[in-house]
Amino acid sequence: MNARLASASAATAYQRQWFADLRKEAAQGGDLALVNADAPQEIFRTMGIPYVVNQWWSSIVTAKRRAQDYLGLLAERGYPDDSEQYSSIPLASAFDPDPADAPWGGLPRPTIVLAETTGDVSRKIFDIWDTQPGVSFYPLESAAENDVPTRWWELMPRDWEQAVGSDRLDLMTGELEGLIRFLEQTTGRVFSETRFAEVMDLVNEQQEWNRRTRDLIARARPCPLPVNDSIPSVMIPQWHRGTVWARDAARAFHDEVAERVSAGTAVCPGERARLMWIGRGLWFDLDFYRRFEESHGAVFVWSMYLAIAADGYLRYGGDPLRALAARFAAFSDQLYTPPWSAEWYVKEARHHGVDGVVHLVSEDARGSYFTTRALEAAGIPVLELHADNVDARSADGDALTRTVGDWLERRVHAGD
């Protein structure tokens, strides 16, 4: 089954048109924000400030096989080309001597950049953005908690105060109030509470559709769609969350998956093994996900993009700004920090009935040991692949393919 999802094609077409329009608007001197993926984009949506997600642009550059060129531009200026590449590649756009030749016509120069001070390097990358003419950086704190309840996915939709903790929420709410004042002053735009409530409602509606889609795929036998097709169907609307289009796109994706399930569509008719992909998308080789269907009857049924959309964003009740703070104050903990990450991956593996997990472990191995351990302890075979998701230099594609093939034969099919 090779027909691409209509929702994926529609989302990609929408994104191209949106980006072309955004470029036109920026060329006329409009405001443009570059924001990190885990930043509170809903504020920008509410105020009508166009934004580009840093990591999305990084994935476009990498998919167009320009990442090495861009990393080279950083190295020419004395900056590392092997540090936080997923976040640093867009910075190189500012140094591109031939922007007209860049993917999608190039990233327009932002006027505002926004990031949390996660890790040791994120804020440095944005500090350099801040030195570019006409660009202002607004840093947000990133806080950590001493003690957390384990089953966050049960608490987050309504009991987020308990899941995240009041100190972090006090801090992040204060940070968001500061951000709003900053944006009011620098852009002259207003923040309407009424509009903000609409945006928050639309985001919850969108993620509810994603939740239904996730549950459909989890239950479906055989798997009705390739995982790499689900990524644009989820993620492009995710970058537009808070719009009617994004909510409707999530619904269209759901309906299309439901139709395939009803029709008994199989991405891999001889499905013998259901696999989970843990880690970021392998942007330099997206075909990788389908390489084991014919040879081993193995199909990837899970990636974090739909699953985190299903479990990671829903926030109901309370003050809307505090609810937004609760969406972001601990977002990356959901994916990368034990015990949250490890227990959630086990929950998702069981929910999807997977036979094995391929776990992409970059050098920056956040909580990977504990994720692998928890899955293996639950009786699920895990293969760790050691590579960076955007930097093709870190991986030999043929070797990765052989490794997965051997593992499927040795550990996954051995239990058939």
- If one asks whether residue 308 binds another protein (CB under 8 A), the answer comes out as no
Q: Does 151 bind another protein (CB under 8 A)?
A: no
Q: Which is nearer to another protein, 393 or 413 (CB)?
A: 393
Q: Is 225 in the site for another protein (CB under 8 A)?
A: no
**Residue choice 366, 393, 411, 413 for contact with another protein (CB under 8 A):** 366
Task: Write the binding mask 74 to 93 for another protein: x where contact by CB under 8 A, - elsewhere.
Answer: ---xxxx--xx---------
Residue 149 lies near another protein (rule: CB under 8 A)? no
What the block records as the tokens of 170 is 């006090």
Choose the binding region for another protein from 43-51, 122-130, 206-214, 257-265 (rule: CB under 8 A): 122-130
Cβ atoms of residues 310 and 211 within 8 Å: yes
Question: What is the closest distance, in whole angstroms, from the C-beta atom of residue 393 to another protein in the complex?
Answer: 15
What residues contact residue 354 under an 8 Å CB cut-off, 6+ apart? Answer: 274, 275, 276, 301, 302, 380
Q: Is 358 helix (H, G, I), strand (E, B) or coil?
A: strand
Q: Does 171 bind another protein (CB under 8 A)?
A: yes
Span of 93-101, 154-162, 200-208, 357-365 interacting with another protein by CB under 8 A = 357-365
Binding another protein (rule: CB under 8 A), the pick from 25, 170, 205, 271 is: 170
Q: Beta strand 356-361 with 298-302: parallel, antiparallel or unpaired?
A: unpaired
What is the layout of strands, in order, in the sheet containing 112-116? 51-53, 33-35, 112-116, 136-140
Helix extents (H) in 77-138:
85-93, 122-130
Single out the residue of 298, 279, 296, 294 nearest to residue 231, CA to CA. Answer: 279
From residue 18 to residue 57, what is the string marking binding to another protein with x (rule CB under 8 A)? ----------------------------------------
Pairwise CA distance, residues 317 & 301, whole Å: 32
Contact flags string 236-265 toward another protein, x per CB under 8 A: ------------------------------
Q: How far is the CB of 88 from another protein (least distance, A)?
A: 9
In whole angstroms, give the CA distance from residue 331 to residue 329.
6
Which CB, 125 or 307, lies closer to another protein? 125
Out of 120, 193, 398, 416, point to the residue binding another protein (CB under 8 A).
120
Residues 93, 334, 362, 389: which binds another protein (CB under 8 A)? Answer: 362
DSSP 96: -
Q: Residues 290-297: contacts with CB within 8 Å, 24+ apart?
A: 290/226, 290/228, 291/401, 291/404, 292/404, 292/405, 292/408, 293/267, 293/268, 294/268, 295/405, 296/272, 296/405, 296/408, 296/409, 296/413, 297/268, 297/270, 297/271, 297/272, 297/273
Compose the 374-403 pattern: x for residues touching another protein by CB under 8 A, - for all others.
Answer: x-----------------------------
Residue holding tokens 């993009």? 305
State which of residues 50, 103, 106, 139 lies at the interface with another protein (CB under 8 A): 139
Contact stretch for another protein (CB under 8 A) within 63-71, 219-227, 234-242, 362-370: 362-370
Structure tokens at 326: 């609760």
Residue for token digits 């992909």? 277
Q: Which is nearer to another protein, 206 or 368 (CB)?
A: 368
Instruction: List residues near another protein by CB under 8 A.
Output: 77-80, 83-84, 117, 119-121, 123-125, 127-128, 139, 141, 143-146, 167-168, 170-171, 174-175, 178, 337-339, 342, 361-370, 373-374
